Amino acid sequence: MRRTVQIYDTTLRDGTQAENFNLSVMDKIRISHKLDELGIDFIEGGWPGSNPLAVEFFKAMQDQELKHAKLAAFGSTRLFANPVEKDANLQGLIAAKAPVITIFGKSWDIHVHDALRIELEDNLLIIEESLAYLKPHTEHLFYDAEHFFDGFKKNNEYALATLDKAINGGAECLILCDTNGGMLPHEVQPIIETVQRFIKERGAAVDLGIHAHNDSETAVANSLLAMSLGVKQVQGTINGYGERCGNGNLTSIIPALGLKMGCQSKAISNIDKLHDTAMLVDELANLPHNKYQPYVGRSAFAHKGGIHVSAVKRNPLTYEHIEPEKVGNIRRILISDQAGKSNVLHKAKKFGIDLDPNSPIAAAIVSELKELENQGFQYEAAEASFELLMRRATGVQPNYFLLKGFRAINSKRKLDRPPETEATVRLEVGGQEVHTASMGDGPVNAIDKAMRKALIQFYPSLEEIELIDYKVRVLSGEHGTGAKVRVLIESKDQYEQWGTVGVSLNIIEASWQALVDSINYKLMRDEQRHAKTQ
């Protein structure tokens, strides 16, 4: 019988502590739904006691429905000077109204003395009291034993005593943390086995978890070793993001657990969604994809020439440890025109487009996709643009309007006043030319307003579009201010949310491309909905 394990994702909290990794509240909501779709069991949303953004996120999530995952609020044990009922951190955790609360406490005596500046017994007290106070306010209560492995190596009796107090406080899972990321696998195993004996001798009904950092490049190895010893919960982040060198990488841990170690979980059963999840997190964080990343990287199943290509064409097992489709990735023969076709066919099926794999149209789409990718286009977080591309290639996408020209003028008249922006747009709709102008907060906003003003008389439903996110990424720094940029726009209406993309040396042009795709997608979806009601 396959052993059931728990997958706990902390991308939205620990992951955001990585350098240059930033997410808006809307980004975090979208990632939460993607993680839920993947089948992650617990999603740690942030530390509401220390971050206003986290407070806003938990408030927003109260109106969102997760089908499988449970949201976790993260925080620390109370300050020794504060009684539990007056501790702001504990009150923030309760106010988050999350079904899971995870708090951390000190396991290493040096942290008790030098960081908290309290006595060892005082630390034991605040661990037990904090957990006991939170217990009635949440569905699940987890305890992160911070710096546990380092603490155990220096003072094993005290480290175990902190776990004992966490058990007394009502924690249902004790997560052993390698917070400094310095542990090697041969050190981890005997410590976990000692903790397991300690819990068994105590007769406690409590699970164990592992939370590894990657400062010694062993976070995945330590996590998998812990799970092989019977630990139930593994914590980590998508793509391994986290403070310093990052956390245990769930995009490596999940497939290893499911495909190699015989474990089961909801995320393992949905593992074909892993690649898309990894790509979405990178896009929303505005960071480049690591193409060499195991399992989900673009090069993870890429083969280039010679013996490898010849062997893989005969039998992929010769140079692939798993089938790429199992994790949602694709095989790429770098010298073959077939690279990418399976991905195109998969998307066509998803969009309801009838595409013959052997047709010239399929080959044309693959060719165009490769050319656009060379230019800097990426469609992981802009599926609306990709669907439009495919429909244009198959000849089923109507032209709702044609661009005749646009202009944006910025002017700053006073130093203490923001710049003024005016945009003019010339469009043709059904043979009729329309010329409009609008003021806006910056050129992109001004063009958006002018374009809508021109089109709304023909397509009133465009009133419903709301632009909810706008990201710009410089694709190459080698040309300085003359580098290409990629613009990602997120839009929504009363029915759905969609992403579009544009790439150009000119940020206004890239923004225009994404805006046009957003409007075209809205009009196409309205037409499809109308057809279904007839």
Segment 423-481, tens digit of pLDDT: 999 999 988 999 999 998 888 889 989 999 999 999 999 999 988 888 898 886 555 55
Which tens digits make up the pLDDT trace of 373-412? 788 888 877 889 989 998 988 887 888 999 898 898 888 7
pLDDT tier, 49 (very low <50, low <70, confident <90, very high otherwise): confident
Q: Contact 186/224 with Cβ under 8 angstroms? A: no
Which tens digits make up the pLDDT trace of 327-364? 998 877 654 444 467 667 777 887 888 888 888 888 88
Residue 322 and residue 205 share a domain: no
Strand partners, 174: 143, 208
Residue 21 domain flag: yes
For position 137, what pLDDT does the model report? 97
For position 467, what pLDDT does the model report? 87
Residues with Cβ within 8 Å of 260's Cβ and at least 6 positions away in sequence, in order, are none
Residue 526 Cα distances to 249, 262, 377, 522, angstroms = 40, 45, 26, 6
Tell me what the pLDDT averaged over the chain comes to: 90
Residue 266 and residue 321 share a domain: no
Percent of the chain with pLDDT over 90: 67
Question: For the domain that residue 30 is a member of, what is the CATH number?
Answer: 3.20.20.70
Backbone angles phi, psi at 346, to 5 degrees: -65, -45
Q: For strands 432-440 and 420-429, give the pairing.
A: antiparallel
Number of H helices, E strands in the chain: 18, 18
Of 340 and 318, more confident = 318
Residue 495 clears pLDDT 90, i.e. is over it = no
Residue 228 and residue 182 share a domain: yes
Mean pLDDT (whole number) for 125-144: 98
Residue 130 domain flag: yes
Tell me which residue range forms the domain holding 327: 300-336
Backbone angles phi, psi at 158, to 5 degrees: -70, -40
- Least confident range from 38-47, 200-209, 263-272, 383-392: namely 383-392
Question: For the domain that residue 316 is a member of, what is the CATH number?
Answer: 4.10.430.20
pLDDT tier, 192 (very low <50, low <70, confident <90, very high otherwise): very high
For position 473, what pLDDT does the model report? 86
Q: How many domains does the chain have?
A: 2
pTM over 0.75: no
Residue 140 clears pLDDT 90, i.e. is over it = yes
Residue 279 and residue 330 share a domain: no
Residue 21 and residue 146 share a domain: yes
Of 133 and 405, more confident = 133
Question: Helix (H, G, I), strand (E, B), or coil: what is residue 98?
Answer: coil
Report the C-alpha gap between 325 and 165 in whole angstroms: 46
What torsion do the CA atoms of 214, 218, 219, 221 make, to the nearest 10 degrees?
170
Of 355 and 56, more confident = 56
For position 343, what pLDDT does the model report? 66
pLDDT tier, 521 (very low <50, low <70, confident <90, very high otherwise): very high
Nearest to 283 by CA among 13, 8, 21: 21
For position 310, what pLDDT does the model report? 60
Buried b / exposed e across 143-154, counting CB within 10 Å, b at 16+? bbbbbbbbbbee
Listing DSSP states for 361-427 in one string gives: HHHHHHHHHHHHHHHT---TT-HHHHHHHHHHHHT------EEEEEEEEEE---TTS--EEEEEEEE
Report the C-alpha gap between 392 and 402 in whole angstroms: 14
